[in-house]
Structure 1
Amino acid sequence: MHGSRWFQVALSAVPGLLLAGFGAVHPAALDAATAPSWTTLHIILLPVFPLLAAAQWFLLASAPLWLRWPGRLATFGFAAFYGGLDAVAGIAAGTVTEAQHGVTPEVGSLFEVGDLLGHIGAGCFLAATVLIIAATTARAGWRALPGAAFLLIASVSFLDSHIFWPHGVFTMIGVAIGMSLLQYAGSAVPGTPTAPARTWCRASQVR
């Protein structure tokens, strides 16, 4: 079980680290020269951003119902609306810029819609983060504080950073650190039985 615990801690960091890596090669601006790579990168990112929602979903697994389901609703909102940003301001804007050989008013309109979707999605991410922190802190006490600090600061930064270098890259690294530390804190609560132990206890009670 110890190995499984460390695997879960490491897995919690993967989405943020992946996005930090993609952010390091993200074009700084969209123009005719960067349009092909802009479009290709956002096609690749389309299935990656929802991994952040999946990580939040699993961090809420041990939360009480009154925190778990609002939190998971927020993670769904993040995946839906931030995916819209990726599709509109990423794939669509890059495709139009390449076809028209430059940024046009139509591209500006796409960015307006994409920015709105992105702000809603990032707001949902922050809301889920607050509920994760509340649930983990109630369960693990002071052990949750380092992860809570990293994840909360990074989630606030995410409201306007996207994954652009350098702000967005460090934001995603902060998300990775915060999620892994919270996963560690939540799984290290003294006196919390492992899943096999709970099964054995129930079997003992039946006998």
Structure 2
Amino acid sequence: MSMFFRKGVIATTGLFLCIFLLVHLSANALLLLPEETARGLYNSYSATLRESLIISVIAYLIYLSIILHVIYSAIVTYRNRKCRIGKYAVNRKSEYSTWASQNMAVLGTLILIFIVVHLANFWARVKLGIGEQVGVDSNGNTDVYEVAYLLFNNIYYMLFYVILMIPLGFHLHHGLKSAFKTLGFYHKKGLKILASVALIYAIIISVGFGIIPLIVYFK
């Protein structure tokens, strides 16, 4: 299996996950609405996600994308490190690459830790019924809103969530720029525009996800 194929998988799954993050952020933004409005909307949205066959298929594609992204990123990182020859090569690399590009493995590992903790505290409880039982709202929907609010009102979880948005921002900024190059896009002017778009996107996602728990906590 060629290195080009591995990097192509990383780029493709990464772009797919970038789309998912935008949708996920828009859903989380509902938590900022007044409680009487937000609870019903957020729980209805969550119920739709769980009950829709199409959304279920997309959800499994997201899980598969995360797994493939992690596995192939680990393989590429391992092979790149194995191919480095001496300290000189490492020093030369720093001359033409950013800090984020040199530390994508570290950033990715931090994000993976975040995903595991987040799924264990949120997804596993709502989807699998693990842990404390989740109640229902006045419409009979699983009260996912309550779960989210309780988590974000836990100062340790809130700080963990907010701080881990920093490596996410760096990872997204470099990853989004690199993905298009990996897939063969080398238009000079287009790459400059993409670099700006990647920066804006990374800021919106990382700040957006990071500020919601803070607002919820200090409400």
TM-score by length of 1: 0.46
- Taking structure 2 as the reference length, what is the TM-score of the superposition? 0.44
